[in-house]
Amino acid sequence: MYLGVDYYPDYWPEHLIDEDMEGIVGLGANMVRIGEFAWHRMEPRDGEFDFSFFDSVIAKLKNKGLSIMFGTPTATFPAWLAKKHPAILSEDEAGNPRAFGGRRQYCFNSAEYRRYSARITEKLVEHYRNEPAIVSWQVDNEFGHEGSDMCYCGQCHAAFQRFLKDKYGSIDKLNDTYGTIFWGQTYNDFDEIPVPKKTITTHNPSLQLDWARFRSRSVNGFAEEMTGIVRRCKGDHQTVMTNVSGGFFGKWFDHAEHTKPFDFVSYDNYPVWGGLAEPIPPYAIAMSHDFNRGLKGRNYWIVEELMGAQGHDVIGYLPRPNQARMWSFQAFAHGCTDMLYFCWRAMTRGAEQFCLGIVDHDNVRGRKYDEVRSVFSEIAPYAELLQTEIQSDIAVLYDYDNIWSWRFQRQSEAFDFTAELLRLYAPFYRLNCRIDVIPADRDFSRYKVLLLPAFQMIDDGLAERLKTFAANGGTVVFSFRAGLKDKNNNLRLGAALPGPVADLCGVRIEASEALPKDKMVPVVAAAAGNAAAESLLPERSACAVWRDLLIPVTAETLYRFDDPFFPEAAVTRNRYGEGEAYYIGGGLAEETLDAIARTIVNRNGICHIESEPGVEVYVREDGEARYWFVLNHTAEEKSFRGLTLKPYDSMIVPADEEGPAGRR
């Protein structure tokens, strides 16, 4: 098991290195990550390579018994390169090249950038291929983060046109697919096709979706090329990975495809960043872990775990004592096997003066240092447990095409995809169920429940797989707008909604309404005596964001809209083969979804654990042995089955059916 810190010896006077290493080893660390922004240090002038600085750092780290993850430095290029080849700079929508400064301002489609990146990557990895202390290569750093996945330059425009030509073959096919007859946009040639920059009103939806797919290919193509070089040049003992940043549903690249070439997934976990007054909610942090575990369907690393407050210009919330420690245990609970903290010491110079580390500018080893040391010493004995596979009964499905189609057409100004995904995820999280968050093209036959948040894009293939799943006894939960669009981002003529899943849901939708921000519409449980009344669902509730007016065909009604004009069903359940499908026709209120989740876990016999609000319990198993990771996400003292949890407490306890068998 690797535990350690992100270390930037190149940013500090050389005389600090010995002292730093002594401090890092004192944490109980066995790994440091270095080098990922140091291109200029390695190639100070075009074609002049010099690794001597890192040679001497590595010799020292090795002496201390530390293993090394080395980052290829392509996330920040040297100023001489930008001066020599300004076309490497990406362009914003207004056609302005991004200035040198900041980071990741390169264009993924710049042949020149690819050439220089390939060269430095090759030189670096070849130089250290036989270095036993370097056990892993990180490729670049947080691909596509901070808006760097979008570029509208001429190179991208030409590459987009080529991408479309490869995809459609003939311009007539593209015209037909997009329906460019509308507003007379018919193209005679691929070279007439624009990139969807700002225009009057809006671009063609199919064109926009292809643009998103092209962006994804651009980012992932670059990542694949660089990874291929590392693989070709590295030593057999060295692994290859990259680090995934947060905010993944807001990105223009498919993350499962992105992480395919890597040996393992690694996530950068920042539950609070920038000016946030509060950390993101515990269920949202948990979902991020489940998403990252879902990328390869395997446990994962964290190479940047937050310890101090963070921000570039604005800084907000300071994690409370033991809160960052608790977030680390939460990560381990959800499948993190190895962890590095960002960062060893906060910088005194440069753009990250306010990204605080384990040690701050005063260079004193204080509370945060002790917290990290306690994490390392308490987690190390569980190394084997952390490697065990997490088996979930519930999966949340997502699909980037669907997410992008929402980004281009929000339909309701209150719509936010991540919020809608969390709306379905959180009720099961609160029951302490294990949940996978996975792409919809995965095999989902081993689950009992599938959640499909805001799945407006469903093709016949997915619809069939969902029907087979339900027919064999599975429960499928759709929220609103299901089955609206095909994979070209078009609607279907003559198909009643919810399109290809209409018979699975047993409903028909003839009308819908977008609800603007802060607008809620009341719903009421269907008449006493039916399933809703029996299952303790709240009598009254409300929907936000959207409402589909559902007409049951074979489904039963759980809720209907309390509206004299639109008394249609709001939530339905349909028997399908051995299983069933729920249709939740709006952004239903939390308590009601909690009650529905409880009904679903009970009907499916899914393991869940009652805990006080704010207390998360995550079960891990190692053969016969079971453990609870118990996490207090609140500032108050809480209890769980006889354990007292101090504010932000975190612990691992052996568990049995009755309760903890004693605290370790």
- Supply the Cα-derived Rg of the chain in whole angstroms: 26
142 binds ligand GAL (CB under 6 A): yes
Report in angstroms how near the CB of residue 355 gets to ligand GAL at its nearest.
4
Which residue(s) pair with 544 in the sheet?
520, 587
399 binds ligand GAL (CB under 6 A): no
Quote the Cα angle for 70-248-149, to 5°.
75
Task: Using the Cα atoms of residue 200, residue 205, residue 206 and residue 211 in order, give the sign of their dihedral.
Answer: positive
Cβ atoms 234, 240 nearer than 8 A: yes
Q: How far is the CB of 346 from ligand GAL (least distance, A)?
A: 10
> 423, exposed or middle or buried, with CB in 10 Å at 0-12, 13-18, 19+?
buried
- Choose between 220 and 310: whose C-beta lies nearer to ligand GAL: 310
As measured in angstroms, the least distance from the Cβ of 310 to ligand GAL is: 4
Alpha-carbon distance of 505 to 3, in angstroms, equals: 48
Residue 304 in contact with ligand GAL, rule: CB under 6 A: yes
CB 384 to ligand GAL: min, Å: 29
CB of 632 to ligand GAL, least distance (A): 25
CB of 329 to ligand GAL, least distance (A): 20
Quote the least distance from Cβ 2 to ligand GAL, whole Å: 18
Does 245 bind ligand GAL (CB under 6 A)? Our answer is yes
Contact call for residues 33 and 57 (beta carbons, < 8 A) = no
Judged by CB under 6 A, the residue of 141, 259, 330, 475 near ligand GAL is 141
Toward ligand GAL, which CB reaches closer, 142 or 210?
142
| Nearest distance, CB of residue 461 and ligand GAL, angstroms | 36
Least distance to ligand GAL, CB of residue 37, Å: 7
Q: Check residue 268 for interaction with ligand GAL (CB under 6 A).
A: yes
Between 68 and 244, CB nearer to ligand GAL = 244
Closest CB 352 distance from ligand GAL, rounded Å? 6
Q: β-strand 449-452 against 394-398: which pairing, if any?
A: parallel
49/354 with CB nearer ligand GAL: 354
Please check whether residue 306 is in contact with residue 319, taking contact to mean a CB–CB distance below 8 angstroms: yes
CA angle 498, 502, 506 (to 5 degrees): 125
Beta carbon nearer to ligand GAL, 36 or 378? 36
- What letter would DSSP give residue 489? S
Q: Looking at beta carbons only, is 137 or 342 nearer to ligand GAL?
A: 342
Burial bucket for residue 609 (CB in 10 Å: 0-12, 13-18, 19+)? middle
Hey, which residues does 438 pair with through a beta bridge?
A: 397
Q: How far is the CB of 245 from ligand GAL (least distance, A)?
A: 5
* Cβ neighbours of residue 105 closer than 8 Å, sequence gap 6 or more: 89, 90, 98, 99, 148
Nearer to ligand GAL, 64 or 312 (CB): 312
Tell whether the torsion through CA atoms of 544, 549, 554 and 558 is positive or negative.
positive
* String of contacts with ligand GAL for each residue 423-442, x by CB under 6 A: --------------------
Which residue from 249, 319, 255 is spatially nearest to 284, judged by alpha carbons? 249
**342 is a site residue for ligand GAL (CB under 6 A):** yes
Report 584-603 residues binding ligand GAL (CB under 6 A). none
Under the binding rule (CB under 6 A), the answer on residue 91 touching ligand GAL is: no
Choose between 141 and 238: whose C-beta lies nearer to ligand GAL: 141
Pick between residue 270 and residue 480 the one whose CB is nearest to ligand GAL: 270
Beta bridge partners of 300: 336
Q: What is the size of the binding site for ligand GAL (CB under 6 A)?
A: 10
The binder of ligand GAL chosen from 307, 355, 515, 525 (CB under 6 A)? 355
Q: If binding is defined by CB under 6 A, does position 310 make contact with ligand GAL?
A: yes
Q: What is the Cα–Cα distance from 469 to 576, expressed in whole angstroms?
A: 10
If DSSP codes are grouped into helix, strand and coil, which group holds residue 372?
Answer: helix
CB-nearer residue toward ligand GAL: 268 or 378? 268
Beta carbon of residue 127, minimum distance to ligand GAL (angstroms, whole number): 23
If phi > 0 it is left, if psi is from -120 to 50 it is alpha, else beta; for residue 95 that is left
Our CB check for ligand GAL shows the closer of 31 and 597 to be: 31
Nearer to ligand GAL, 103 or 465 (CB): 103
Instruction: Rank residues 333 and 355 by Cβ distance to ligand GAL and give the closer one.
Output: 355
Site for ligand GAL in 93-122 (CB under 6 A): none
Residue 36 CB, nearest approach to ligand GAL (Å): 7
- Measured from the CB atom, the residue of 245 and 418 that comes closer to ligand GAL is 245
Mask for 193-232, x = binds ligand GAL (CB under 6 A): ----------------------------------------
Query: What tokens were used for 559?
Result: 């809720």
Q: CA-CA distance, 122 to 197, in Å (whole number)? A: 36
User: Between residues 195 and 340, which has the closer beta carbon with respect to ligand GAL?
Assistant: 340
| Beta carbon nearer to ligand GAL, 76 or 475 | 76
- Cross-strand pairs, 437: 396
Beta strands in 87-140 (DSSP E): 134-138
Cβ 146 to ligand GAL shortest distance, Å? 8
Report d(CA 533, CA 525) in Å as an integer.
7
Q: Report the alpha-carbon distance of residue 8 to residue 358 in Å, rounded.
A: 13
Q: Measured from the CB of residue 306, what is the shortest distance to ligand GAL in angstroms?
A: 7
Smallest distance, ligand GAL to C-beta of residue 357, A: 10
Confirm or reject binding of residue 290 to ligand GAL (CB under 6 A): no
Smallest distance, ligand GAL to C-beta of residue 454, A: 27
Spatial separation of the C-alpha atoms in residues 163 and 209, rounded to whole Å: 13
Which DSSP string do the residues of 425-488 spell out, in sequence order?
A: HHHHHHTT--EEEEETTS--TT-SEEEETT--B--HHHHHHHHHHHHTT-EEEE-TTTT-B-TT
Q: How far apart are CA 15 and CA 247, in angstroms?
A: 38
Q: Which is nearer to ligand GAL, 36 or 210 (CB)?
A: 36
* Cα diameter, the chain: 81
Give the separation between CA 231 and CA 352, rounded to whole angstroms. Answer: 31
CA distance 108 to 215: 9
Q: Strands 134-138 and 625-632, how do they pair?
A: unpaired
Q: Given the rule CB under 6 A, which residues bind ligand GAL? A: 141-142, 245, 268, 270, 304, 310, 342, 352, 355
